[in-house]
Copies of this chain bind each other. A is one copy, B any other.
Amino acid sequence: MVIPIQLENNENIRYDITIDKLPHLTFDTKVAIVTNPTVSQYHLDTLLAHIDAKALHVVTIPDGEEYKNLETVETILNELFSHKLDRKSLLIAFGGGVIGDMTGFTASLYQRGIGFIQIPTTLLAQVDASVGGKTGVNNAFGKNLVGAFYQPKAVYIDTEFLKTLPSREFAAGLAELIKMAVMFDREFFEFLETADLNDKVTLEKAIARSVELKAWVVNQDEKEAGIRAVLNYGHTFAHVIENETAYKTYLHGEAVAIGMVMANHLAHALGLMSEEEIKRVETLLRKHNLPVIYTVLDVDAFYDKFFLDKKSMNDKIKFILPNGIGQFEMRNDIEAAAVKKVLSGFAGAN
């Protein structure tokens, strides 16, 4: 399957996302693959067997979110300069979201921008990080605070690479996929309720639909001036949960799963979602062993932490809520009391 990306306000950006067996890739330029030791040990030989280039270098960076910073980007840049990559050279991001975000960011900076290709090896990166052109790094003040909007030349999604992915990480990727269904596509949600994602063709179909929906959003709103904010469904709550648990307890997708459940209860309180619909989303999350329960110890403290999120400006919090399954609503007029009441429902015996 091939999903074309074409930003509506920038005719220069046009590329394809291919969901299929990785094809043989031939480049008439220098190429550098950026990867980490974990991905490398399982899959680098496979990738190398698929690439012909004028010169081919592999840049290996340490595995983990704690290395997603400007220092690592500078290390990659220096390695590229020492290999004398030029303006026509190409980077390949080969790994999960951290590799993708940092490789894209490095490509945007090298001599003010060279091309890069995404070959994501985690489900989260396949459905989420590889689409949309958000690149960047973390710093002492928070996650993804420094970066660039920079689109790849191509994205190749091959589910073969997921075979070595731990099942917990696979499920965390599914959370983002379920998010797309709840926000935009009731039929897709119903497909997911019965789908056997162990089946390769079914999984490819699910990934393709999720990518297609995200592409539709990004094409309209590359720089998150409007509808792209809908992709933050569940994330406003998730960021607080991740902050309260020091990013140690939950994978990002797991925190998003809980965050979606919280958002659903808020939607219910506002009359946007039925009890039955809340249940159906929970059931789908549980089916994939995603967490749906979290104990809010201090409701006021939890609420105050919404304002740490860079997406909140002034004193309004923008909540992205389902309006039933398959439709969304953006609200920035919800009283603190209403939100805190919903949070109280998570303060103990839920």
Known A77-B139, A77-B146; further 15 A-B contacts with Cβ < 8 A: A9-B11, A9-B12, A10-B12, A78-B139, A81-B139, A81-B140, A86-B310, A88-B313, A109-B146, A109-B147, A109-B148, A110-B146, A111-B310, A113-B149, A148-B148
Out of B77, B82, B140, B145, which one reaches A111, CB within 8 Å? Answer: B145
| Distance of A149 Cα from B113 Cα, bound (Å) | 8
Residue on B nearest A105 in the bound complex, by CB: B109
Binding site for B on A (CB under 8 A): 9-12, 70, 74, 77-78, 81-82, 86-88, 108-113, 134, 136, 139-142, 144-149, 223, 310, 313
Kindly identify which residue among B108, B144, B223, B310 contacts A148, using a CB–CB cutoff of 8 Å.
B108
B147 and A112 form a contact (CB under 8 A): yes
Q: Which residues of B contact A11 (CB under 8 A)?
A: 9
Other-chain residue from B74, B110, B141 in contact with A70 (beta carbon distance below 8 A):
B74
Contacts of A86 in B (CB 8 A): 310, 313
Q: Which residue of B lies closest to A141 (CB)?
A: B81
Closest CB in chain B relative to A88 CB, distance in Å: 7
User: In the complex, A222 Cα to B310 Cα: how many Å?
Assistant: 31
Interface centre among A108, A109, A148 (most CB of B within 10 A): A109
Q: Nearest B residue to A311 by beta-carbon distance? A: B87
In the complex, chain B residues whose CB is within 8 Å of the CB of A70:
70, 74
Q: What B residues does A149 contact at CB under 8 A? A: 112-113
